[in-house]
């Protein structure tokens, strides 16, 4: 039962799932991109925590497709819009699932804005983020996988010609898995 909802200035939607006695605001950020906070319904139903439990949908994500205040490209401000969500309520504990957790890790400004952080099936650090962003910007001459203009998706077996920016969800998760598996201090994904 979502009994209260509002949008931040950039279009982050926060919907209160439940309220118990206590001062904390538990913000649940789904994985994705593309997966809405509805995916965390069972988790929210099972939580027995002090305070309010909130679903968070970033602009353009899940069913939050055209929120008020969002830019024409709602993804342009990701992951920084999570800071705006944290600033919208007092005494925040942010819980991020999968990619949602990675967005939280990629936003160091959150450290002074939240009381706690819970990572649910998330990469242990944000070292993947700059490399992933660079990979989505186009072919890299130093990348053996796209040097010839073709991105070969090892996990799905598909090959994308000419545009390395096209990357499917399976391949995204494969990149993250390689980042998790690399030894500490290793540079390559």
CB 22 within 8 A of CB 48: no
Question: What is the mean predicted confidence (pLDDT) over 79-97?
Answer: 94
CATH number, domain of 114, equals 3.40.50.1820
Which of 9-23, 71-85, 118-132, 167-181 is predicted least confidently?
Answer: 167-181
DSSP structural state of residue 135: H
Question: What is the mean predicted confidence (pLDDT) over 175-181?
Answer: 52
CB 107 within 8 A of CB 81: no
Q: How far apart are CA 159 and CA 154, in angstroms?
A: 9
Complete DSSP assignment for 8-77: -TT--EEEEEEE-SSS-EEEEE-SSSS--GGGGHHHHHH---SSEEEEEE-TTSTT-SS-TT--SSGGGG
DSSP structural state of residue 183: P
Q: What is the pLDDT of residue 18?
A: 97
Domain co-membership, 111 together with 143: no
Q: Taking 70 as the threshold, does the pLDDT of residue 168 lie above it? A: no
Domain co-membership, 141 together with 105: no
| Structural domain total, the chain | 2
Domain co-membership, 96 together with 158: no
CB 91 within 8 A of CB 65: no
Mean pLDDT for the chain overall: 78
Greatest mean pLDDT range, 24-38, 135-149, 150-164:
24-38
Q: How far apart are CA 77 and CA 9, in angstroms?
A: 12
Q: Taking 50 as the threshold, does the pLDDT of residue 150 lie above it? A: no
Q: How far apart are CA 181 and CA 21, in angstroms?
A: 41
Domain co-membership, 115 together with 132: no
Domain co-membership, 165 together with 143: yes
Q: What is the pLDDT of residue 52?
A: 98
Distance of CA 96 to the CA centre of its chain: 7
- Let me know if residue 11 belongs to a domain: yes
Q: Taking 60 as the threshold, does the pLDDT of residue 180 lie above it? A: no
The domain in which residue 38 lies consists of 4-120
- List all residues 6 or more positions away from 138 whose beta carbon is below 8 Å from its beta carbon: 163, 164, 165
Q: What percent of the chain has pLDDT over 70?
A: 66
Q: Taking 80 as the threshold, does the pLDDT of residue 97 lie above it? A: yes
Question: What is the mean predicted confidence (pLDDT) over 116-139?
Answer: 74
Question: What is the mean predicted confidence (pLDDT) over 94-107?
Answer: 90
Q: What is the pLDDT of residue 138?
A: 58
Q: Which helix (H) or strand (E) holds 97?
A: strand 92-97
Q: What is the pLDDT of residue 167?
A: 42
């Amino acid at each position: 039962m979502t009994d209260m909802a509002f949008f931040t200035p950039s279009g982050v939607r926060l919907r209160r799932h439940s309220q118990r006695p206590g001062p904390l605001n538990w913000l649940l950020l789904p994985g994705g991109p593309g997966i809405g906070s509805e995916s965390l319904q069972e988790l929210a139903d099972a939580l027995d925590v002090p305070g309010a439990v909130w679903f968070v949908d970033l602009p353009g994500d899940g069913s939050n497709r055209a929120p008020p205040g969002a830019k024409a490209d709602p993804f342009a401000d990701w992951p920084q819009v999570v800071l705006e969500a944290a600033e919208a309520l007092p005494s925040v504990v942010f819980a991020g699932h999968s990619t949602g957790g990675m967005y939280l890790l990629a936003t160091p400004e959150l450290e002074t804005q939240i009381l706690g952080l819970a990572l649910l099936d998330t990469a242990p650090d944000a070292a993947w983020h700059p490399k992933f962003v660079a990979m989505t910007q186009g072919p890299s001459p130093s990348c053996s996988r796209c040097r010839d203009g073709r991105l070969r998706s090892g996990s799905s077996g598909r090959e994308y010609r000419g545009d390395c920016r096209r990357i499917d969800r399976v391949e995204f998760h494969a990149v993250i898995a390689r980042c998790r598996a690399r030894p500490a201090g290793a540079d390559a994904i």
